[in-house]
């Protein structure tokens, strides 16, 4: 799958992006700036749009099976992210956030499909 050292250019960006998502989830809720507008849902949407796109790009040629694998992986990763937040002070599990993650994932998959 990763011939000629393509690991760095293919899968590493997605792994780094997952690490960034995880690190952002470790910030206690009271340390986020209080804005008039809640940017949380927008952040969730774009985090997973980008992740799904990076994972699709890492796998090479488009296939429906690969898309389903990426969709499932992103939804499980989003669920684990929500669970992780339950251990962070002033953060909680949110089904709405998980649904927004899913919409971001599907949007990223659609963009990848349209660009193929």
- What digits encode the pLDDT tens for the residues 58-71? 987 889 999 999 99
Mean pLDDT of the chain: 88
Handedness of CA 7, 10, 14, 17 (dihedral sign): positive
Greater confidence (15 vs 10) lies with 15
- What is the structure's pLDDT at 36? 44
Tokens linked to 31: 């340390």
Cβ contact 108:51 at 8 Å: yes
Domain ranges of the chain: 40-116
Q: How far apart are CA 16 and CA 41, in angstroms?
A: 21
φ/ψ of residue 34, rounded to 5: -90, 105
- What digits encode the pLDDT tens for the residues 37-56? 467 789 899 999 999 999 99
- What is the structure's pLDDT at 49? 98
Helical segments of the chain, H only: 7-10, 12-25, 40-58, 64-85, 95-115
């Amino acid at each position: 799958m990763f011939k000629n050292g393509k690991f760095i250019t293919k899968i590493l960006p997605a792994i780094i992006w997952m690490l960034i998502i995880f690190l952002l989830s470790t910030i206690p809720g009271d340390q986020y700036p209080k804005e008039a507008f809640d940017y949380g849902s927008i952040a969730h949407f774009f985090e997973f749009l980008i992740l799904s796109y990076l994972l699709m790009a890492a796998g090479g040629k488009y296939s429906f099976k690969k898309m389903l694998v990426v969709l499932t992986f992103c939804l499980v990763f989003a669920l684990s992210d929500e669970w992780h937040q339950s251990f962070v002070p002033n953060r909680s599990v949110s089904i709405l956030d998980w649904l927004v993650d899913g919409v971001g994932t599907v949007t990223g998959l659609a963009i990848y499909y349209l660009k193929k």
